Amino acid sequence: MILEVEDLHTYIGEFHILQGVSLKVPSGSVTVILGRNGAGKTTTLRSIMGLIPHRKGKITFEGRSIERLPAHRVAQLGVGYVPEDQGIFTCLTVEENLRLAMRNGTSGKLLEKVLDLFPDLRVALRKKAGNLSGGQRQMLALGRALVTGSRLLLVDEPSKGLAPVMVERVAGAISQIKKEITIVLVEQNFRLAKAVGDYYSIIDDGRTVVSGKMGELVENHELLERYLGVKQAAR
């Protein structure tokens, strides 16, 4: 397991938001965290990343405890994070965005590899990131995380606000990069989740309620309707 989270509890102010989140992420997989609005998906990623302190629970990355480490240390150890707002600099060019994300000592080869994965970015290298389409921005955000050389990537709802055709492109991009990096993906778009996911974990009311192989969830209509409100038509 590249990442293990055990019985995570996080408070925001006085609110007990996460009340027992557990997650096991095998290396080389895409694990999708599913759950309704407000279930605690983003809070889970932020807690793992060290952006909000958790009050209880264990977090292990590559066999080493990353609890209580500040976010920049977690990032240095090899965990990338693509927040919902993507965290890109709209007034800088695509190339500047990528170069800023590169660590000291990151080789130009890694940048070339990322540009091979996302030809859209190569074409737009000198464009301002603010002029990219929603789908291209999402690719830039993923590209920025990849050029750091991270081995685990946490991605929050990359499909949000994108047209269906762009969601397909993002699904394609994630399928491409999963050969390079282990991914934990928060996603409410079940089409995208099932297209790219190997494993799933459902969070409800701040708790992990069920986890397993994506192939099994697709068949489990009761679970889909109970926790995700996925109706026949959306499958």
Q: Which residues bind ligand ATP (CB under 6 A)?
A: 12-13, 15, 17, 35, 37-43, 188
Separation CA 78–CA 72 (nearest Å): 10
Whether 64 contacts 230, CB under 8 Å: no
Given ligand ATP, Mg ion, none, residue 17, with its beta carbon under 5 to 8 Å by kind, binds ligand ATP
Looking at the Cβ atoms of 41 and 207, the one nearer to Mg ion is 41
Q: Please name the residue that has the structure tokens 């150890």.
A: 77
Output 41 or 144, the one with its CB closest to Mg ion. 41
Is residue 42 involved in binding Mg ion (CB under 5 A)?
yes
Burial class (CB in 10 A: 0-12, 13-18, 19+), 91: exposed
- The verdict on 182 binding Mg ion (CB under 5 A) reads no
Range in contact with Mg ion (rule: CB under 5 A) among 42-50, 133-141, 169-177, 202-210: 42-50
Shortest Cβ distance from residue 156 to Mg ion (Å)?
6
Q: Quick one: 31 or 42, whose CB is closer to ligand ATP? A: 42
Q: Select the binding partner of residue 38 from Mg ion, ligand ATP, none (C-beta < 5 to 8 A, by kind).
A: ligand ATP
Among ligand ATP, Mg ion, none, residue 39 binds (CB under 5-8 Å by kind): ligand ATP
Instruction: Give least dist CB 189 to ligand ATP, A.
Output: 11
> What is the distance between the alpha carbons of residues 34 and 116, in angstroms, rounded to a whole number?
30
What is the nearest approach in angstroms of ligand ATP to the Cβ of residue 125? Answer: 32
Q: Which residues pair with 199 in a beta bridge?
A: 31, 213
Helix or strand holding residue 74 (H, E) = helix 71-77
Beta carbons of 177 and 142 less than 8 angstroms apart: yes
Q: Is 47 a binder of Mg ion (CB under 5 A)? A: no
Residue 12 contact among ligand ATP, Mg ion, none, beta carbon within 5 to 8 Å by kind: ligand ATP
Give the strand pairing for 3-12 and 56-61.
antiparallel
Q: Which is nearer to ligand ATP, 41 or 144 (CB)?
A: 41
User: Looking at this protein, which amino acid is placed at residue 63?
Assistant: G
The total number of residues shown for the chain amounts to: 235
Amino acid at 89: F
Identify the DSSP state of 114.
H
